[in-house]
Structure 1
């Protein structure tokens, strides 16, 4: 046992010394270039001491690789809610996360105060159908507390075979007691873009998340709406859209802008600084636009809303958005692992940094309380609301006398009325 400890100690010392030598070379080079960096030798020694005490004294034997992985995870998670260590499973999930098809519950999540926070449920998924809402805090998964879990641990636990169940215990703002919601996992196939005519001359475009093909699909959808008649206005619905691919957001913004800056990023490294400009051509031909947002609108959604708002191309209506204004870069460590590191923050054309603050709407709409129909429990009421927000077909007994989507959706109804007013004003 003593020999094993000595061997382990020698390995760790060798590892730390190797790291110290490697970093020393980099530090020396930096100093030659005028940078003021210092290698934290005492802290590395402290790390080695903690490692060896755990190996010698912890109640059960701990694998050294597991300890080092945990140390890396802690180092990254302490930076911000978006930086993370990607093990082999996480690295694989990154590859499929933007393809539009993946397994699980259909929730975009982050970490807040040690709990899993729902950024937004994805349209048409088990989470949205069960009434999960943006801002919900998940405190237990199948009865197990999420405190102490990393975000990747929690996400992995929520994944599973199609048809299997998991019970989420959530805390919701405005409610006194936690509530349990059981969801059945499914294969998630995300339809990024959906459109329809609300009334003669007025179109509706829903983007549920931003994928590689989203900008192309948006242009196609608008062209199809125009084929149905003179398009005098458009509602762009970004509610509960958790974001996605940056290029998708840039492409969607460009589709409605004739010129000018869409978004720019700033970071310490030169290659993390970008400026994205709009190219000539507005697919709507200048027709009025209203963008619907809520606190589930995050990241790429905020880029689009901020760009159209700053250029006065659209009126933004709803609630303050989520406030994720940072760029994460995937830096490979090995062939199958890496780190996701925040390397830049993005800014709207007018220079607004929306990290944590979000995009403030031009016209605020308060959240509405869902009224239960006779004999309907709260979960069914929430599910009905989600179906209506997403424009899905509702069962005949849930349909309010054949009302249109705009008539069932208060926010959309207000946006449509505003569009009509903008159209009248522009004609004058």
Structure 2
């Protein structure tokens, strides 16, 4: 019975490989060549294992479960980003690119069998809990996950909004593992945030790249110019901890600041994996200086933007080396509810640099830091308030009494403060490009 089953499965494998059933018995040169290309011995081994599991495993296993497990196994052996998307994962992917999905709010990958945090997403439970880019998740609800696989680990982290999950985190080589409790929520991602830093100097943060990110960014820039009552002197584009997203979003954001030339191109084995994207003639900043902030959590689409603006000498890139995720994943539907996410090409910057496993090296290396004013100095300068019988401070206006004095930018975000200083320098020098 097992032999008959193996033969039947081998025939199925022939059909899946593209040989029509009507040609199964022909001995034409074309058929012989096709047969030679098939790994017949390996397919027989697969069929034997399939039959052995069906007959001898301690509990009955249905065919669909075995086939899906085999597909997952094939894809997990390729690279960390290729995977099988079952009905739930496929639906989550489609919803996620539109800006709303359930979970903790982290972009993750695999490293040495553990789940690695690529970046926490702004204003999500993961970010509020203090997760950082580079953290390794080694346990989920006290269950070890080494070797579990990315899809299964992600499923464990998903759950009903409002329920809690405990992650055991390894951060750095010298720190002991620690537990973090996070409450699941429906994640609604606002991909574009903006504000004025100082008169004339704008700030735009992109938390990820969605289908509408480019349009939203241009609306935000228009609003900044309106509040500034005129064109901006310069802009800081913050891509720190931006894990990426859809390619069209990255191309659109890059195109907004370029007037010509290549943005990014892709190369792979199949013909339709070779694509090239060029910039249109309009620069939304009209040549005003641009500084881009990146770090180790800037991945994929973020690296496309940083690489394009750096190679085209349109922006100064500041921060730390980016993540280095330069591969293209294509969603290949299997049926109406499932699909493959398959790595089909690599990204290249306009100058031909591969982002994969290299990342983008910033023009100005700027490590994260903290600015602390000196307190309790040995000798403090004498002020009016220190003098005996000094006049009391005039009572504040009622409108001002409840206002808190804003923190200096250097205390709020040292890297952003330094980026603003560079931007001012470019403005003073009159550079429209990062010459």
What's the TM-score once normalised by structure 1's chain length?
A: 0.87
Pick the aligned partner of 1:424 from 419, 424, 428. 428
Q: Which residue of 2 aligns with 1:278?
A: 279
Kept after mapping to 1: 8 A contact 2:106/2:126: yes
Q: 1:412 to 1:125 in 2, by over 3 A?
A: same
Q: 1:274 to 1:35 in 2, by over 3 A?
A: farther
Q: Which residue of 2 aligns with 1:63?
A: 62
Kept after mapping to 1: 8 A contact 2:326/2:357: yes
Paired with 1:171 and 1:313, the residues of 2 have a C-alpha distance of: 38
Kept after mapping to 1: 8 A contact 2:368/2:414: no
* Paired residue total: 395
Kept after mapping to 2: 8 A contact 1:198/1:406: no
* Alpha-carbon distance, 1:103 to partner: 1.0
Q: Which residue of 1 aligns with 2:101?
A: 102
> Which structure 1 residue ranges, 5 or more long, are not aligned?
1-5, 372-398
Kept after mapping to 2: 8 A contact 1:20/1:41: no
What's the TM-score once normalised by structure 2's chain length?
A: 0.85
Q: Which residue of 1 aligns with 2:419?
A: 415
Q: 1:59 to 1:309 in 2, by over 3 A?
A: same
Paired with 1:217 and 1:297, the residues of 2 have a C-alpha distance of: 20
Between stretches 58-67 and 106-115, larger displacement belongs to 58-67
The answer on 1:329 being equivalent to 2:333 is no
Q: Which residue of 1 aligns with 2:348?
A: 347
Paired with 1:148 and 1:324, the residues of 2 have a C-alpha distance of: 21
Kept after mapping to 1: 8 A contact 2:370/2:413: no
Between stretches 189-198 and 152-161, larger displacement belongs to 152-161
> Any idea what the Cα deviations from partners look like across 1:32-91, whole Å, max 9, x if unmatched?
9x9997210001111122223333443433333222211110101111111001111111
Q: Which residue of 2 aligns with 1:240?
A: 241
Paired with 2:283 and 2:346, the residues of 1 have a C-alpha distance of: 27
Q: 1:187 to 1:24 in 2, by over 3 A?
A: closer
Q: 1:255 to 1:180 in 2, by over 3 A?
A: same
Where do 1:84-95 residues align within 5 Å?
A: 84-95=83-94
Kept after mapping to 1: 8 A contact 2:293/2:419: yes
Provide the secondary structure at the position in 2 that maps to 1:25: coil
Kept after mapping to 2: 8 A contact 1:291/1:305: yes
Q: 1:164 to 1:47 in 2, by over 3 A?
A: same
Kept after mapping to 1: 8 A contact 2:289/2:431: no
Paired with 2:6 and 2:87, the residues of 1 have a C-alpha distance of: 23
Paired with 1:20 and 1:347, the residues of 2 have a C-alpha distance of: 37
> Any idea what the Cα deviations from partners look like across 1:221-276, whole Å, max 9, x if unmatched?
11111121341111000000000110000000000001100000111111111110
Question: Once superposed, what is the RMSD of the aligned Cα atoms?
Answer: 2.6
Q: 1:318 to 1:36 in 2, by over 3 A?
A: farther
